[in-house]
A and B are shown apart, each in its own frame.
Chain A
Amino acid sequence: MNCQDVAEKLNAYLDGELGPQAAALVREHLEGCAQCAARLRELEGLNRAIGAMQGMPTPAGFARRVRLAAATGIPAEAGPAKWAWGGVLSRVAAMLVAATGIWVGVTLGSTANSVNGYVDAAGLQEDDLDLQVGAVSAAPAESVAAAYLALLDEGE
């Protein structure tokens, strides 16, 4: 193995990605070549420097926000911790009001249909709140319920 071959394989060698035979050949070359050994040390130094790049801490409540975003179809934004639940609860409250209004509208609407059960696994279960979208899935075309369903579709 010559120096050019070794130079191409040095990174994979350090990463432990060479097979045993290739790794042995590289090792043998390094023992007898000061230049390639110096290249190896440089690469090791670079790897250490790369390793010093720091990550980021996980924001508090991140998993819960993702779950809520999945349940509501509304991307959750982080905010100061003391207001995070206030923001979520106000959205939930708004949805409850909307759902109640839609329910009333559909029930009293001239083309109201009897509907049963839930929509499929669209997953509007949210913590302890169960929003039954199935009740509005047969809403008339120009109704608020239809507009609400259209909003859900936009969120996908």
Chain B
Amino acid sequence: MLEDEELMMRAAEGDMASFEELVERHQQSALNVAYRFLGDRQLAEDAVQDAFLKLLAAAPRYRPTARFRTYLYNVVWHLCVDVYRKRHPLPLEEVPLGEDPGGGPVQSVEEAERAALVRQAVQELPPRQRMALVLKHFEGLSYEEIGRALDCSSTAVDALLVRAKRRLQERLKELR
């Protein structure tokens, strides 16, 4: 199996099959990141499609100084922020209680209610805090990797996450 960086180099030379394989490998992660940030499936799909197209356009200039995934998340981040700025505040996508939105195991009504509260509180976070949270909690990136994706230092990521968690704790107390 070829490494992501090799596939990217091949895509830069016009190998569309390699490009499609890259998309298939990372589409789920990218969609989840965009969806958890934006709260809307169609917006997430559009942002991620754009992200892959932008990466392909920039492929001739690609240098594997970081993992491909980091580049992808960086582009997704910028596109998500663009959407956020155009549409802020974002309408929350309604998830009927007790129904599985399709992204994970079916939840009980109580779990779905709690998840909806958390989702609402997360959607209210400032963009950079929100994305740092998503990348840490769902993509398992290190602070250093998150920093590369968000164009900031790992110390800044630490501060973003501390502030995000503090806000969430306060907000969830208010919402309950």
A-side interface residues toward B, CB under 8 Å?
A: 8, 11-12, 15, 17, 42-43, 46-47, 49-59, 62-67, 69-71, 75-76, 78, 121, 123, 125, 156
Contact = CB atoms under 8 A, between A and B. Distances in A.
A155 to B, nearest CB: 10
A56 B35 contact: yes
B17 to A, nearest CB: 8
Contacts, number: 117
Contacts of A8: 162
Contacts of B101: 54, 56
Interface of B: 13-14, 16, 19-20, 23-24, 27-28, 31-32, 35-36, 41-42, 44-46, 49-50, 52-53, 56-57, 60, 95, 100-104, 107, 111, 114-115, 118-119, 122, 133, 136-138, 142-143, 154, 158, 161-162, 165, 168-169, 172
A63 B24 contact: yes
Nearest to A73: B53
A53 B52 contact: no
B104 A50 contact: no
Contacts of B28: 55, 58
Contacts of B49: 62, 65-66, 69, 75-76
A64 B136 contact: no
A135 B49 CA distance: 30
A15 B60 CA distance: 36
Contact of B32 (A49, A51, A56): A56
B16 A121 contact: no
A59 B45 contact: yes
Contacts of B24: 63
Given A53-B122, A75-B53, 13 more contacts: A12-B158, A17-B143, A17-B154, A17-B158, A46-B168, A50-B122, A53-B119, A53-B138, A54-B101, A54-B115, A55-B104, A58-B28, A70-B56
Contacts of B20: 63-64, 66-67
Nearest to A59: B45
B169 A70 contact: no
B118 A52 contact: yes
Nearest to B144: A17
Contact of A56 (B31, B57, B133): B31
A71 B27 CA distance: 18
Contact of A121 (B14, B23, B118, B168): B14
